[in-house]
């Protein structure tokens, strides 16, 4: 169902969406998403740049199509990411796999899907890939062109991380690849999830370049991954323009042409989405308001992914200027089922609307059936219209694939 109305205020829009699609409800603003994509595009002016959306943050096909239509490729952490990307219309050559710990059958599946750029996480994974590649080429695709990269593990830059290959292992990795007629041509630098400190990237540029030069066949650099988003709107924000200027300047001063890959995820999509929920209960503990809503923490990512905070806005039916410390609680008795704590909200009533902001990344993607609640629907807003992009689950989903 779609509406052609241009909405005068959010409260009117939110109420109509909840009346049509039910509560709780994820809503995505396509226009805001495109604005963010364009801003990131124009911030990195290096000519030989490819942007690839890190779909680990959100795998809704309708949203992936927006990235594809904006000229981005896809950055896949798992075969499931690749599967969804292909369904969204991404060409296999515009998908790069950068993941961990695939088994033999999964690596074979990745090749059968046509993925030809892979950043591998360990020498062990490289050995397995070369084994699978040799059998695949022999049986199906002689002369296959593969672009192989290594994910970087260098504690001075990446910290205490399980991910990646240390430069001390580069020489061995190159020998393994050459044994099957391949070269290691790429380096993937992953700074760490949700990094808002721009200098954590810019100050690493020279070191990353020097490490990449240890690869005798270096052709491309995947420079993250890991770009943050300011969930606290008055907090530190990643400076895309400064980052783009510094990286472009450094690349243009290299004596060899390097292909640059940038793979934003959270930074691109977090801010375009809101989780709407309705108040179902109110109680007061002295001066603190305890608000119960019809969603649960199971519909949001774990706190470690977003620092345990998202901004919450209330839309009360009764106008008041007084604000109270408020805990927003989910519809379970799980002791940690808080969607927000000590929020400054007005006194609320049953059926008032609460909006949890910035849920585009690791929102629905990390939602689960924990606490045995079906997951919400998803709706896309675009050019004054709205449409359903994922149906609401019902309780039957809890029995899916069970053998009774």
Segments forming the whole domain that contains residue 140:
30-269
Q: Encode 364-385 in three state secondary structure.
A: HHHCCCHHHCCCCEEEEEECCE
The CATH number assigned to the domain holding 371 equals 2.40.37.10
Say which DSSP state 55 is in: G
pLDDT of residue 7: 37
Is residue 92 domain-shared with residue 63, that is, in the same domain? yes
Is residue 171 domain-shared with residue 233, that is, in the same domain? yes
Candidates 179, 83, 81; CA nearest to 129 is: 179
Is residue 158 domain-shared with residue 20, that is, in the same domain? no
Instruction: Report the alpha-carbon distance of residue 49 to residue 39 in Å, rounded.
Output: 15
Find the radius of gyration of the CA atoms of the chain: 23
Length of the chain as a residue count: 404
Is residue 151 domain-shared with residue 188, that is, in the same domain? yes
Residue 143 lies in a domain: yes
Q: Residue 317: CA atoms inside 13 Å, Cβ hemisphere, count?
A: 8
Alpha carbon of 325 to those of 280, 285, 318, 348, 349: distances in Å?
A: 18, 10, 18, 12, 15
**Domains identified in the chain, total number:** 2
Is 338:309 a contact under the CB 8 Å cutoff?
A: no
Report whether pLDDT(239) > 90. yes
The contacts of residue 390 (CB under 8 Å, 6+ apart) are 26, 60, 364, 377, 378
Q: Residue 258: CA atoms inside 13 Å, Cβ hemisphere, count?
A: 29
Is residue 37 domain-shared with residue 161, that is, in the same domain? yes
Q: Are strands 338-345 and 324-329 parallel, antiparallel or unpaired?
A: antiparallel
For the stretch 366-394, pLDDT in tens is 999 988 999 999 999 999 999 999 999 99
Instruction: Report the alpha-carbon distance of residue 377 to residue 361 in Å, rounded.
Output: 16
Is residue 261 domain-shared with residue 345, that is, in the same domain? no
End-of-domain residue from the set 210, 245, 269:
269
The CATH number assigned to the domain holding 60 equals 3.20.20.10
In the three-class reduction of DSSP (H, G, I as helix; E, B as strand; rest coil), residue 221 is classed as strand
Report whether pLDDT(359) > 70. yes
Is residue 161 domain-shared with residue 250, that is, in the same domain? yes
Instruction: Report the alpha-carbon distance of residue 340 to residue 112 in Å, rounded.
Output: 45
Residue 400 lies in a domain: no
End-of-domain residue from the set 227, 247, 269:
269
Residue 294 lies in a domain: yes
Residue 109 lies in a domain: yes
Nearest 5 degrees, angle CA 219-CA 147-CA 69? Answer: 95
Is residue 72 domain-shared with residue 104, that is, in the same domain? yes
The contacts of residue 84 (CB under 8 Å, 6+ apart) are 55, 59, 61, 64
Is residue 154 domain-shared with residue 209, that is, in the same domain? yes
pLDDT of residue 1: 32
Q: Per-residue confidence at 342, pLDDT binned at 50, 70, 90?
A: very high
Residue 1 lies in a domain: no
Is residue 198 domain-shared with residue 277, that is, in the same domain? no
For the stretch 40-81, pLDDT in tens is 999 999 999 999 999 999 999 999 999 999 999 999 999 999
Is residue 131 domain-shared with residue 255, that is, in the same domain? yes
pLDDT of residue 268: 97
Residue 282 lies in a domain: yes
Candidates 28, 99, 92; CA nearest to 66 is: 28
Mean pLDDT of the chain: 92
Residue 3 lies in a domain: no
Residue 174 lies in a domain: yes
Is residue 251 domain-shared with residue 275, that is, in the same domain? no
Q: Residue 201: CA atoms inside 13 Å, Cβ hemisphere, count?
A: 31
Is 45:23 a contact under the CB 8 Å cutoff?
A: no
End-of-domain residue from the set 269, 296, 312:
269
Q: Per-residue confidence at 6, pLDDT binned at 50, 70, 90?
A: very low
For the stretch 254-310, pLDDT in tens is 999 999 999 999 999 999 999 999 999 999 999 999 999 999 988 887 665 656 788
């Amino acid at each position: 169902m779609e509406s052609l109305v241009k909405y005068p205020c959010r409260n009117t829009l939110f109420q109509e969406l909840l009346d049509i699609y039910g509560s709780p409800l994820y809503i995505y603003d396509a226009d805001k998403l495109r604005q963010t994509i364009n801003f990131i595009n124009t911030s990195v002016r290096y000519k030989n740049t490819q942007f690839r959306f890190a779909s680990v943050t959100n795998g809704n096909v309708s949203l992936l199509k927006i990235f594809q239509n904006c000229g981005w490729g896809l950055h896949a952490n798992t075969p499931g990411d690749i599967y969804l990307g292909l369904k969204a219309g991404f060409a296999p050559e515009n998908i790069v796999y950068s993941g961990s710990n695939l088994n033999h059958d999964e690596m074979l599946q990745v090749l059968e899907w046509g993925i030809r750029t892979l950043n591998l996480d360990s020498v062990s994974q490289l050995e397995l890939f070369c084994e699978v590649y040799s059998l695949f080429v022999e049986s199906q695709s002689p002369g296959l062109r593969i672009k192989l990269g290594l994910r970087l593990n260098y504690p001075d830059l990446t910290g205490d991380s399980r991910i990646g290959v240390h430069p001390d292992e580069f020489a061995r990795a190159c020998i393994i690849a050459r044994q099957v007629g391949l070269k290691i041509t790429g380096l993937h630098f992953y700074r760490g999830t949700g990094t808002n400190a721009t200098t954590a990237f810019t100050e690493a540029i020279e070191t990353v370049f020097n490490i990449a030069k240890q690869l005798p066949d270096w052709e491309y650099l995947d420079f993250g991954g890991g770009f943050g988003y300011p969930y606290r709107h008055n907090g530190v924000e990643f400076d895309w323009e400064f980052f783009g200027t510094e990286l472009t300047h450094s690349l243009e001063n290299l004596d060899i042409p390097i292909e640059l890959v940038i793979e934003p995820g959270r930074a691109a999509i977090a801010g375009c989405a809101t989780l709407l929920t309705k108040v179902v209960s109110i109680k007061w503990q002295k001066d603190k308001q305890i608000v119960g809503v019809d969603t649960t923490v199971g519909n949001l990512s774990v706190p470690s992914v977003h620092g345990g905070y998202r901004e919450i806005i209330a839309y009360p039916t009764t106008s008041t200027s007084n604000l109270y410390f408020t805990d927003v609680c989910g519809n379970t008795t799980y002791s940690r089922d808080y969607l927000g704590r000590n929020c400054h909200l007005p006194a609320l009533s049953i059926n008032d609307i609460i909006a949890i902001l910035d849920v585009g990344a690791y929102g629905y993607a990390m939602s689960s059936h924990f606490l045995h609640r079906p997951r919400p629907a998803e709706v896309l807003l675009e050019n004054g219209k709205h449409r359903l992009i994922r149906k609401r689950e019902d309780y039957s989903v809890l029995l899916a694939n069970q053998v009774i």
